[in-house]
Amino acid sequence: DQQVKQNSPSLSVQEGRISILNCDYTNSMFDYFLWYKKYPAEGPTFLISISSIKDKNEDGRFTVFLNKSAKHLSLHIVPSQPGDSAVYFCAASYMQYGNKLVFGAGTILRVKS
């Protein structure tokens, strides 16, 4: 049972345009959500997070939106740059789960110049 789902395996976007990566979850206990970015042969690196008490968090070109009623979150990258090309993982957790993260399968983002 996949508790965190990233239904788009890949996404291709033109440089300068917006990239929107989506993530759905099923466990209503989740209260913290994170996005990680992964380059080939490297470990995932933390990008941005959001607590369930918020519906938006912004950090530079990256914004995460949370829709709790729909159990959906999205990562917006504006403007997209070629260096953003990577695999993006959505992850979720809740305090009683001991800070362990449940990851989605990832979305490959390609930003074309």
Site string for another protein, 79-98 (x = CB under 8 A): ----------x-x-x-x--x
53 versus 113: smaller Cβ distance to another protein: 53
> How far apart are CB 109 and another protein at their closest, in Å?
15
Enumerate residues 6+ apart whose C-beta is below 8 A from 62: 35, 47, 48, 75, 76, 77
**40 contacts another protein (rule: CB under 8 A):** no
Enumerate residues 6+ apart whose C-beta is below 8 A from 48: 34, 35, 57, 59, 62, 63, 64, 75
Tokens representing residue 24 in the block: 């759905």
Binding site for another protein (CB under 8 A): 4, 6, 32, 34, 36, 41-46, 49, 89, 91, 93, 95, 98-106
